[in-house]
Structure 1
């Protein structure tokens, strides 16, 4: 691994304030037992701050996202279609900048299914693109002299965002732990470049 680049949305909340925010935007303050459980999970997680694409405005404009069992797939996909590639492209650009070589030196692009960032990254059309990631990156780097593989992944927690519900502790566990972000690495074998790992 030659270099790492990361990116997060600009919106953030401290872990300490997240539970109150989450229960407020989902109109679930009346579920005090679940709220207390989530506060304990957040406190014990060791997480200080998390970044999110979604804000109060997201739920004001799309209230179906905060209501369990309301149709919201199309809305989620519309938001993801724009936000995920932008976030992935930012992480890829940071990795390339840190690498110090032109983007055109990337020979292969491997991306997470949602991180359709190739169009946002200045990489020549000759770059091999694939959705297979880490094992494929290692294979490409080791078996193709001079290969420099850009691996990009991005996720938004909005994909699984839903209101808490009694009997579904898994929902508050996920909400207590995950935020939004993207990562990119450039992998290569041989050459005189410094290696991160």
Structure 2
């Protein structure tokens, strides 16, 4: 981890962005206005982590791991940060394959970034490259971490089907 920040989107402390544990599992029903709030506020929320490292203008040079809280949320993050298409591909893939797993989904997204690098894909986290991990939670809060991907590919679990550990990032 290179840098981190936490922000709360103003006037959202009463937002129904929390999940509820039921007999059928963890149910998360964000308000219909949540994607617009995220889109309009995400850049300001991640600025505290990016600006000290002079990365604000280079957002599309970084790899991105966004919490896959739903397609509308990922679309809002992408639009609010003016990210190039494909920058959230790993997050979208985890959402398609596993659904919204709340914060636990981030481990799957990081593993997907690692796996795609090992497999030589167009996406993934380049060795030594900087990237951003963004989680969105109740409040509506935005947690941001700037990460540096591991350089040493010998420390990476080369099994592309492994979902048990995240070692590269």
Q: Give the TM-score of the pair, scaled to structure 1.
A: 0.43
Query: Which of structures 1 and 2 has the bigger CA Rg?
Result: 1
Structure with the higher helix share, 1 or 2:
1
Q: Give the TM-score of the pair, scaled to structure 2.
A: 0.49
Q: Could you say which structure has the greater relative contact order, defined with CA pairs below 8 angstroms and 6 or more residues apart? A: 1
